[in-house]
Structure formats: structure tokens, C-alpha cells
């Protein structure tokens, strides 16, 4: 369906609804938490009765407003349930399976891989963040952007765009950031709290992985790994490995960065990143994985040495 | 003198001049190289005869336009000499001492510590980058912003603002970035090339320093160092230690990050950063140094162990 007609329908059902629930993906990141809270505050402005449901998230978002309103589960029947920043039904955090029990389900997202699992879906695959996509929707709903709403939206935009780094950041994103500064949103502070600060466990895990980066194929491949034992020793939590794969990618001369994470005995989850020309999704697909040309992943059921050898061999072929 | 009147005078002397030379500071960074090249291209548009002088700079700026026009020295007499992004006369790269021989000298800068060493000085102490200050000046001079000029300006803005991170980034900065995207400037690519990429030596020096971070005062102080021997082993070049002090600062719970760099036998150069409340310039001043409340530095002539003990002792006192 034409996405603008779908958006018209979403605006209409939200306008008509009284009781609305907001959901997002498991392991919520800055864009999940930020978009959920911003939408929650926006719908309160419109005098709706709103529930907001998320799983536990990083303490770094502790400065965001209205965190105490967030529930871990809801069991009611809603006029509309909205899934934010969630690409598939399977990724939705919904312990009581209440999302599908609403009269209407809506999904708003920026993942190009979104499966359109709701009744009404609005997906902007080229948006840097769901929070950025919400700006347009808030305008349509007549929600006034406040400093509180703006802080939530900037938390999502900063974290999901890598600090305005990715090429999904468009002129509207920068213009929105400018308007949020004018509104008094402390972008520099949000940047520091949500993007720069690492827990000691994250820092130690990253340092461990970084210190054991090895180079292959005349330094064009950088490869490292973390084991379950590393996670235990550093007291790392789920998600604390995020970003480690970028360290290798940012070393001059490196075309492909490979990161292996042990998830079980002889079971490694692989992330691959390339810079200029290697299609890492091709390499990942050889191991039953996939992704994009510059960012892909797969699982390998082997011991560490064999997994590394296979990855280096196949990556070297496409260099 | 009123800075706007000073700017009027600068515009006037540039408009009248025919032969102009552009200078910048020693060890030129992204803002020095970017502002110099942008001004060079802008003045060529105005049909001036322009010389551009800089010291050697990082290969990461190799994608910028007209690098072949840059000279290592000039010896002529110019109508106007312009110093960009340079806070003091002593920091100016000018091997033949030709800056002062011009009929008029001009300094354009964003360092609040600028000493107004030229005849005409325009200093925006709250600007994120000299490149951002130039936007206003180009408008006054009638210089058309091209994709080439925009790429140079964005290189300076991205690197000097820590990737739009610091609180000097204002609404105009974001609006300018938006307009540069509209012009076709590849901000994401410039961000990667000038800000993300590390040489192998930088990576290895940083990894070494990071892996030896020690915590003091209940983890509120993070401290690390590099020795001359480390620099030699990793083949690090001047400036390759830049940014290491921020690693400690970004660990949750850390208030003060301290970084010692050996510059000679029993001679350490210290950088200190704080997050929320410690005035590190107070600590630095105890050792004859100074700076700002959140970023300061000093020199200590002691062996490493004594230097660390003294720094930890004095920093703990103000926590």
C-alpha cells in the first residue's frame, strides 16, 4: 500500500482512539526508549489514556523524563497498540501478548527489513532513527514539540545515527537538531550520556577485544573476538559487545573488520563490517547469514580457531 | 575594539587587497587545514592572487581539494596576510617570518585564548570551529559556497566539534550542515575520513594506553600514560596521543581522567579532563599549569611513579 495513504490511516485511528498502548523491541536501545517516551508524552498532550511498555534498558537513559510511567507488562485491551522501532513481530517486547489483542495494531519504524507485521505500517527505511520519523508524525497529529519530547527524540537520533555519523542523516535531521537547540534541549549533554559513557564492564570488554585484534591479508582484515569467559570476567551484560566491530573498521588500511562473539560452546555469532568495496553479506551468506553490503552477520558452529580460519579464508578471497 | 567594526575593517582590507597569503598554526589539524583551503578557494573566486602556507598534516586530509597548491613557505610581501585558527603569534607556522611583513595582518579564530596578535582580529570564542566562523565571513565577502569549499569547512567543523558533540555546536552549525548536504557535500564520508580513521600507530598507542588505565579514589579517577619507549615501539608520530585522555573520562563513574605523556627523561606532560564538578585547572595550577575547569594541563619533572602519586593525591583532595 502507498505509504502516505497508510500514514493517513494511522493518523486517523490514533485521532479516534482513546486508550493506546506503546510497545517497542526487546533489549531496547536509545531509539526504542526515546521514541516510546516521546510518543507517550505526545499522546498525553492529546488527552489520550496511554500505557507504555518496555523491557529493562541501560541506566544511561536514566535522565529521560517520565521513566516511572513505564510498565514491564500490560494486559488490557486497547483501542490501538503501536509498535515503535521494531522490525518483526518476534522482536516485540510483549510478555502478555497483548499487542495483537487491540482493535487496531500500528507499526512505525525505520528498519528497511521491517516485515509489516501490524495492521497499519509506516516504515521509513532511509530514516536515521524512528525518533526522526516521529517528527513528521507528531506534526500531523498536532503534537507540540516540548523540551521533554525533544530530549527523548534527540536521544534516539544521536544513538541510532552514531552521533550524526551515518549517511542516513539528512538535511531534515540537522535542521531538527537546530530547532531542538532553540527549544533548550541540551544536545551535548544527551550525546555524552547516551553515546559516550561506557560502563566499566563495557570498557573492560572493549579493551580486552581491542588489545587482541589481529590483522590478516596485508592488514586489510582486522579480526577479534570475545568469549563467554571474557563476558563473565568483565561482568559484561547483554549488548555490552556492541560497537566493538567498529574499532577494527576504523584502522587505516583495513577493509573488513570481523568480530566473533561466543554465545555457546563451539557456537560463535559473527559481525562483519567493510569500508569501501567488499560485500560482506556475500561472505556472511556462505555461512548461512546475511545483511547489507557494508554490515552483515552469521553464526558459525565450530571451535574458535576453525571459525577464524574459515572467516579469514573466505574474506581474503573477496578482497 | 568592537568585534563587528573589526570585521567590517577585515572585509574592507580583503576587498581592496590583490595579493593575499593564508597562514595557520603548527601541527595543523582539520580546522586549520579545512579553514585554510576553504579561504584559499573563496579568495580565488574573488580573483585574488593567493598563497596558502601550512606545515605537513595528517594523510587523512588527503581527499580535500587543491592540496597541491599548498606551499611549505612563502617569502613575498603581501597586501594582506591572514592567520586562521591560530591563538598566538608563537603558534603560527611561518618559516620565513613573512606574516608580519605584509601591509596588513589579519587573524580569524575561534580560540577564546586568542591574543589578538594581528593588526585586525576577529575571534568568535564560542564558535565550534574557525571553519564555522568563516561561513559568516564568506557571506560578507560574497563568496559562493561550493561543494569543494563546503567539504573543507565540514572537515574543520566535524573534527573540532568532536563530531557535533561539544556544546559549542549551535543551531547555525546544524543548519549549515543541513545546507551542505543539500549542496552535495558527503558529510558521512568526511566524518569517517577525518574523525573515525586511525593509523595503525595511533590505534596501537591508544590500545596500549587504554589497557593500562588504572582507577583511583573509588573509581572516580582514571589514569594512564604513554612513555617515549611506547611511542617508539608503536612508531607513533607527534599528536598520535590526542584523544587518549577522553577514554578514561567516558567510563561511567569517572569524574577526572588523567593522562601522562613522557616528553623527556623524568619530564611528563599531563592532560586532565573532568566531567561534572571538579575544576581540573586548579589541580593543574598546583603544578604550574592551567587551562579550563573541565580541561587543563601541566608539566611535571619527576619520575613516573612520583608524578602519578602526586597527581592522584592532589586530585583526590578536590573530589
pLDDT digits (tens, 9 = 90+) for B147-189: 999 999 999 999 999 999 999 999 999 999 999 999 999 999 9
Sign of the dihedral through C-alpha B37, B42, B45, B49: negative
Using an 8 Å CB-CB cutoff, list chain A residues near B207. 207, 210-211, 213
**Contact A166/B at CB under 8 A:** yes
Using an 8 Å CB-CB cutoff, list chain A residues near B247. 203
| CB burial of residue A41 (10 Å; 0-12, 13-18, 19+) | buried
The strand pairing partners of A198, in sequence order, are: B251
Confidence of residue A293 (pLDDT cuts 50, 70, 90): confident
Give the pLDDT of residue B3: 87
Say yes or no for a CB contact (<8 Å) between A172 and B178: yes
Percentage of residues in chain B having pLDDT higher than 70: 100
How far, in Å, CA of A81 to CA of A136, rounded?
A: 19
- Chain B residue with the nearest C-alpha to that of A215: B200
Determine how many CB atoms are found less than 10 A away from the CB of residue B228.
14
- Chain A residue with the nearest C-alpha to that of B173: A178
Average pLDDT over residues B62-80: 95
Give the pLDDT of residue A1: 58
Give the pLDDT of residue B2: 76
Confidence of residue B300 (pLDDT cuts 50, 70, 90): very high
Q: Are A280 and A294 in contact (CB under 8 A)?
A: yes
Confidence of residue A290 (pLDDT cuts 50, 70, 90): confident
How far, in Å, CA of B285 to CA of B18, rounded?
A: 46
Say yes or no for a CB contact (<8 Å) between B171 and A181: yes
**Contact B172/A at CB under 8 A:** yes
Using an 8 Å CB-CB cutoff, list chain B residues near A200. 219, 251-253
Task: Note the pLDDT tens digit of each residue in A59-80.
Answer: 889 999 999 999 999 988 999 9
Mutation for testing the A interface, residue in B252, B257, B294 having most A CBs under 10 Å:
B252
Give the pLDDT of residue A195: 93
Give the start-end residues of each E strand in chain B.
Answer: 19-24, 49-53, 70-71, 80-84, 104-109, 120-123, 214-216, 221-226, 256-264, 267-274, 290-291, 295-300
Nearest-by-Cβ selection for A250 from B188, B197, B253: B197
Q: Give the DSSP H/E element, type plus range, for residue B308.
A: helix B304-317
Average pLDDT over residues A301-312: 98
Mutation for testing the A interface, residue in B62, B182, B188, B240 having most A CBs under 10 Å:
B188
Using an 8 Å CB-CB cutoff, list chain B residues near A164. 163-164, 177, 187, 191
* Strands B267-274, B256-264: pairing kind: antiparallel
Using an 8 Å CB-CB cutoff, list chain B residues near A246. 196
Confidence of residue B1 (pLDDT cuts 50, 70, 90): low
Residues 221-260 of A with CB under 8 A from B: 246-247, 250-253
Task: Note the pLDDT tens digit of each residue in A232-285.
Answer: 999 998 778 988 999 999 999 999 999 999 999 999 999 999 998 999 999 999
Mutation for testing the A interface, residue in B158, B161, B165 having most A CBs under 10 Å:
B165
Task: Note the pLDDT tens digit of each residue in A296-306.
Answer: 899 999 999 99
Task: Note the pLDDT tens digit of each residue in B3-31.
Answer: 899 999 999 999 999 999 999 999 899 99
Average pLDDT over residues A141-160: 97
ipTM reported for the complex, 2 dp: 0.90
Percentage of residues in chain A having pLDDT higher than 90: 90
Average pLDDT over residues A102-116: 94
Give the start-end residues of each E strand in A49-161.
Answer: 49-53, 70-71, 80-84, 104-109, 120-123
Give the pLDDT of residue B295: 86
Task: Note the pLDDT tens digit of each residue in B198-254.
Answer: 999 999 999 999 999 999 999 999 999 999 999 999 999 877 898 899 999 999 999
Average pLDDT over residues A150-157: 98
**pTM as predicted:** 0.91
Mean pLDDT of chain B: 95
Written as nine digits, the cell of B215 is 582507577
Nearest-CA distance from A304 to chain B in Å? 23
Give the pLDDT of residue B157: 98
- Chain B residue with the nearest C-alpha to that of A210: B207
Give the pLDDT of residue A75: 87
pLDDT above 80 (res A2): no
Confidence of residue A58 (pLDDT cuts 50, 70, 90): confident
Residues 6+ positions from A208 with CB-CB distance below 8 Å: A226, A230, A234
Confidence of residue A112 (pLDDT cuts 50, 70, 90): confident
Give the pLDDT of residue B32: 96
Amino acid at each position: 500500500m502507498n505509504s502516505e495513504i497508510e500514514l493517513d490511516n494511522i493518523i486517523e485511528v490514533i485521532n479516534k482512539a482513546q486508550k493506546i498502548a506503546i510497545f517497542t523491541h526487546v533489549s531496547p536501545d536509545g531509539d526504542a526508549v526515546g521514541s516510546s517516551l516521546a510518543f507517550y508524552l505526545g499522546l498525553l498532550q492529546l488527552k489520550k489514556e496511554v500505557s507504555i511498555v518496555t523491557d529493562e534498558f541501560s541506566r544511561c537513559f536514566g535522565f529521560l523524563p517520565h521513566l516511572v510511567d513505564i510498565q514491564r507488562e500490560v494486559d488490557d485491551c486497547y483501542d490501538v497498540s503501536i509498535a515503535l522501532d521494531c522490525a518483526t513481530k518476534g522482536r516485540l517486547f510483549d510478555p502478555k501478548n497483548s499487542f495483537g489483542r487491540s482493535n487496531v495494531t500500528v507499526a512505525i519504524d525505520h528498519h528497511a527489513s521491517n516485515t509489516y507485521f501490524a495492521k497499519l505500517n509506516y516504515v521509513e527505511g532511509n530514516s536515521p532513527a524512528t525518533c526522526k520519523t516521529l517528527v513528521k508524525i507528531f506534526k500531523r497529529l498536532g503534537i507540540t514539540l516540548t523540551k521533554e519530547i525533544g530530549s527523548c527524540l534527540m536521544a534516539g537520533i544521536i544513538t541510532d545515527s552514531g552521533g550524526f555519523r551515518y549517511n542516513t542523516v539528512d538535511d531534515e535531521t540537522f535542521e531538527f537538531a537546530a530547532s531542538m537547540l532553540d527549544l533548550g534541549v541540551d544536545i551535548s549533554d544527551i550525546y555524552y550520556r547516551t553515546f559516550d559513557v561506557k560502563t566499566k564492564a563495557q570498557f573492560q570488554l572493549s579493551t580486552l577485544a581491542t588489545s587482541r585484534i589481529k590483522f590478516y591479508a596485508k592488514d586489510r582484515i582486522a579480526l577479534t573476538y570475545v568469549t563467554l569467559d571474557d563476558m563473565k570476567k568483565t561482568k559484561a551484560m547483554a549488548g555490552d559487545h556492541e560497537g566493538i566491530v567498529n574499532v577494527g573498521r576504523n584502522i587505516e588500511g583495513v577493509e573488513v573488520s570481523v568480530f566473533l562473539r561466543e554465545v555457546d560452546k563451539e557456537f560463535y555469532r559473527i559481525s562483519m563490517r567493510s569500508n569501501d568495496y567488499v560485500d560482506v553479506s556475500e561472505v556472511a551468506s556462505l555461512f548461512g547469514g546475511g545483511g547489507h553490503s557494508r554490515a552483515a552477520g552469521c553464526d558459525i558452529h565450530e571451535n574458535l580457531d576453525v571459525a577464524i580460519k574459515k572467516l579469514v579464508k573466505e574474506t581474503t578471497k573477496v578482497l
